[in-house]
């Protein structure tokens, strides 16, 4: 029975109609391999068309979200979509927003609800299955801004002690100042002017080999750690229980010693008779 299926499958693969058969190598095993992998290759072709690092774009977004947006919100300033830091100018934003993360080992695709064990697998899934949802127009790659935004500091990389390159420091500073000028033009009002000054201090001034100022010198988002909140609530709930238990235990101990004394006294009184 299995042999019939194999023959039918071989006939299907060797039928002259599909173009890819003629283009493949003459070896039978190669043809079979092509037959099974052609779909995958077609999907990878699309993934390879995008030359923008998803990982570095994510790091750039993390920097923007933690070290810039809290201050922009505080000023109630609306970033123009001409600014490269605007969420619309991140080609991966929509896909990143469709990542449902329940746990470190549980990732779910918001488009098709498929589950994954690790973030790298859901990333591959997005590249292969939902590549058509990428907003891959020119200038939409946040990873290109990583030099200006100090992405390496928020990525899980081994700390590197590299010698400062004056040429790349100048290049990054120039890119950084261009971002400050386009996103927060000094002629755009008081808030824009203040944010322009802030942006230079927070990101641009650190692009120097003299080591004067550190990046993110104005600080970032303050987050309450969920773990500490849970521990604090548990301690507050368990403390009264603990003291209640100690109180009842001591009370019980006191009562039992009193009872013992009473019994021994009664015993002593009974003895002479
Ligand atoms: Zn999906």
Cα 268 to averaged position of ligand 1 atoms, centre (Å): 86
| pLDDT of 104 strictly over 90 | no
Cα 31 to averaged position of ligand 1 atoms, centre (Å): 30
Phi, psi of 133 (to 5 degrees): -90, 0
- The pLDDT score that the predictor gives to residue 102 is 87
| pLDDT of 184 strictly over 80 | yes
Cα 20 to averaged position of ligand 1 atoms, centre (Å): 28
Cα 130 to averaged position of ligand 1 atoms, centre (Å): 7
Cα 221 to averaged position of ligand 1 atoms, centre (Å): 31
Ion ligand 1 contact residues with beta carbon within 5 A:
109, 111-112
Average the pLDDT over each of 8-17, 23-32, 37-46, 182-191 and give the range with the smallest value: 23-32
Cα 122 to averaged position of ligand 1 atoms, centre (Å): 8
Residue 250 Cα distances to 237, 247, 254, 257, 262, angstroms? 21, 5, 6, 11, 19
| pLDDT of 12 strictly over 80 | no
Cα 50 to averaged position of ligand 1 atoms, centre (Å): 18
- The pLDDT score that the predictor gives to residue 115 is 96
Cα 112 to averaged position of ligand 1 atoms, centre (Å): 4
- The pLDDT score that the predictor gives to residue 182 is 97
For residue 175 the two structure tokens come to 């890119």
**Measured distance CA(14)–CA(38) in Å, rounded:** 14
- The pLDDT score that the predictor gives to residue 14 is 46
Average pLDDT over the chain reads: 80
Cα 86 to averaged position of ligand 1 atoms, centre (Å): 25
- The pLDDT score that the predictor gives to residue 33 is 40
| pLDDT of 24 strictly over 80 | no
Cα 90 to averaged position of ligand 1 atoms, centre (Å): 19
Cα 109 to averaged position of ligand 1 atoms, centre (Å): 5
220-273 confidence digits (pLDDT tens): 886 555 555 666 767 778 887 877 878 888 888 777 777 777 777 776 665 555
| pLDDT of 161 strictly over 70 | no
| pLDDT of 83 strictly over 70 | yes
- The pLDDT score that the predictor gives to residue 217 is 85
For residue 271 the two structure tokens come to 């003895």
**Measured distance CA(234)–CA(243) in Å, rounded:** 15
Cα 113 to averaged position of ligand 1 atoms, centre (Å): 6
Using pLDDT thresholds of 50, 70 and 90, give the confidence band for residue 141: very high
190-225 confidence digits (pLDDT tens): 999 999 999 999 999 999 998 778 889 888 886 555
Domain ranges of the chain: 54-80+141-155+164-224
Cα 53 to averaged position of ligand 1 atoms, centre (Å): 19
Q: What percent of the chain has pLDDT over 70?
A: 72
Using pLDDT thresholds of 50, 70 and 90, give the confidence band for residue 97: very high
Cα 157 to averaged position of ligand 1 atoms, centre (Å): 28
Average pLDDT of span 167-177: 96
Cα 243 to averaged position of ligand 1 atoms, centre (Å): 52
Using pLDDT thresholds of 50, 70 and 90, give the confidence band for residue 170: very high
For residues 213, 218, 221, 223, the Cα torsion angle rounded to the nearest 10 degrees is: 90
Cα 40 to averaged position of ligand 1 atoms, centre (Å): 16
115-136 confidence digits (pLDDT tens): 999 999 999 999 999 998 887 7
- The pLDDT score that the predictor gives to residue 246 is 82
| pLDDT of 10 strictly over 80 | no
Instruction: Assign 270 to helix, strand or coil.
Output: helix
Phi, psi of 270 (to 5 degrees): -75, -30
Report whether 115 contacts 101 (CB < 8 A). Answer: no
């Amino acid at each position: 029975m299995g042999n019939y299926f194999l023959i039918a499958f071989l006939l299907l693969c060797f039928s002259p109609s599909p173009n890819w058969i003629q283009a493949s190598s003459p070896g039978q095993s190669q043809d079979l391999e092509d037959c099974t992998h052609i779909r995958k290759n077609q999907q990878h072709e699309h993934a390879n068309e995008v030359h923008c690092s998803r990982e570095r774009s994510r790091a750039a977004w993390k920097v923007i979200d933690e070290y810039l947006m809290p201050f922009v919100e505080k000023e109630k300033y609306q970033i123009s979509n001409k600014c490269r830091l605007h969420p619309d100018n991140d080609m991966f934003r929509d896909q990143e927003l469709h990542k449902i993360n329940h746990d470190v080992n549980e990732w779910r695709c918001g488009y098709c609800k498929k589950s994954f064990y690790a973030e790298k697998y859901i990333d591959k899934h997005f590249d292969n299955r939902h590549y058509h949802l990428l907003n891959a127009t020119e200038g939409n790659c946040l990873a290109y801004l990583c030099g200006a935004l100090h992405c390496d500091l928020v990525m899980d990389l081994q700390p590197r002690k590299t010698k400062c390159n004056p040429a790349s420091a100048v290049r990054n500073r120039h890119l950084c100042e261009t971002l400050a000028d386009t996103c927060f033009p000094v002629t755009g009002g008081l808030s824009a002017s203040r944010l322009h000054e802030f942006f230079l201090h927070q990101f641009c001034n650190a692009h120097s080999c003299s080591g004067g100022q550190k990046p993110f010198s104005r600080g970032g988002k303050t987050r309450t750690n969920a773990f500490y909140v849970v521990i604090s609530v548990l301690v507050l709930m368990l403390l009264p229980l603990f003291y209640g238990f100690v109180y009842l235990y001591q009370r019980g101990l006191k009562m039992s010693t009193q009872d013992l004394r009473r019994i021994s006294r009664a015993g002593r009184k009974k003895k002479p008779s």
